[in-house]
Amino acid sequence: MAKVAPYHTTRLEDPPERNVYHDYDNCPAGSQIKPEHKASGTDGRPRCLDCKAMD
Ligand SMILES: [Zn+2]
């Protein structure tokens, strides 16, 4: 696993609990973000719990 710069998805179909940012490139939810929906930064969102668990 590798920690990366914060990123999030711009897609809105995810359930609300997915409105988070990720900072691990191998995060299960984060890795499902398609390149065209991937944006850098936190967007003011809480941190993904899966990413948090990988600390
Ligand atoms: Zn994550």
Ligand 1 centroid–CA 31 distance in Å is 8
Portion of the chain with pLDDT greater than 70, in percent: 91
For 30, list phi and psi in degrees, rounded to 5.
-65, -35
Ligand 1 centroid–CA 36 distance in Å is 17
pLDDT tens digits along 21-36? 999 999 999 999 999 9
C-alpha to C-alpha distance for 24 and 47, rounded to whole angstroms:
11
Ligand 1 centroid–CA 33 distance in Å is 10
Ligand 1 centroid–CA 30 distance in Å is 5
What length is written for the chain? 55
- Domain residues for 17? 3-53
Q: Is the pTM of this model over 0.85?
A: yes
Domain count, the chain: 1
Ligand 1 centroid–CA 7 distance in Å is 9
